[in-house]
Structure 1
């Protein structure tokens, strides 16, 4: 679990490396990965210590068991300690050594198979996003564009941890809204909630008209702001100039 958590975080950081470099967030995410790595090293060191202990015990067990058996024969005088007895005891212990070694390995493989099947089941049987996460309504006569009432959202609905809670937001047409906060505060999560890509626990999300979301990553990857602004719609020079002026962007 610690390794999966570290790999998941590393993968997300690498996928967003352009944004991280642009915002100078390297130290923040470096410390996050280091903390996850230290937790993983703790479990790895404990596992390697137990592995070394088990290997030492396995290779010394024939000598220890044989010595105990022969010492018991001498003390209790149950059987004569001759060549026939010694050969029989050593041959029996040798024949039992291979199954004893294979049992832990078989159990380890079975555990790995169970974990793999559990991951596949969790992925394949994961709930799909519901169509009613947001209600897309036609534009009313009023200037209202977006309304969220007591919205509670979470990336993991089965978990008690809520990503966003008690969100109340109203946006008017042509209104500019800035969402500010530190890294991990939930700015991007709020956008995903409005788009309907984050599971909604409770509350209501009403969107009037259509939605177009352009991330900063797409600007950097494509390098063309105009295509992201038009969003596949025909060019209207007057509206385009107004958007450029309102957003303080550079025409490309």
Structure 2
């Protein structure tokens, strides 16, 4: 196992489950000092035990700016810096246009958009030349899947952030990129497939590589974007979708 992130301080929001947890595990195995966030204490503690390697869980809600301030204050006390931010916390709540209510808009954009802005903004005072930001996007920001326009739009905003922030932060030597998975083997999608006969087969039919993504497929791509191996990659959206968006 390589140690590309030896002693690097890595922050992962939404790190107690799914893609965030799988990515935290890989960062930790490669020597990173990992901090994860999550709203539920029990899930966060379980994730920290699973990650091992001295990982630290900071309970909080990333839509609450005070909780983000607490997160970075803890890291500043511990290390005085942040090297990598994986702004991963997000939600998928598909609602057709005619059924959208104000609460749907507020929850989707509050977590997928507003929280991402302040997760990054509040990290910047601790980031120096060579810092890396990876934003959690989705192929939905490009594909415009029906019946989920709010989610699609929120992920399109993430794509725009990477472009804008690449320009905003270029003089500081901080790179920003987006990881954009397609259907991925998370607990939530497995629950959906189990409850919806034929859904998994229908999804797979649309994937040129013939399967949905594994958690490690996405995690490895995040680590690539966070590593020196991608040192000349900026403002990019990396699709991890088995060819769906490209083909």
| Both proteins in one fold, TM over 0.5 | no
* TM-score in terms of structure 1 length: 0.19
Which structure shows the bigger proportion of residues in helix conformation?
1
Alignment TM-score, normalising by the size of structure 2: 0.19
Higher relative contact order (CA 8 A, sep 6+): 2
Which has more radius of gyration?
1
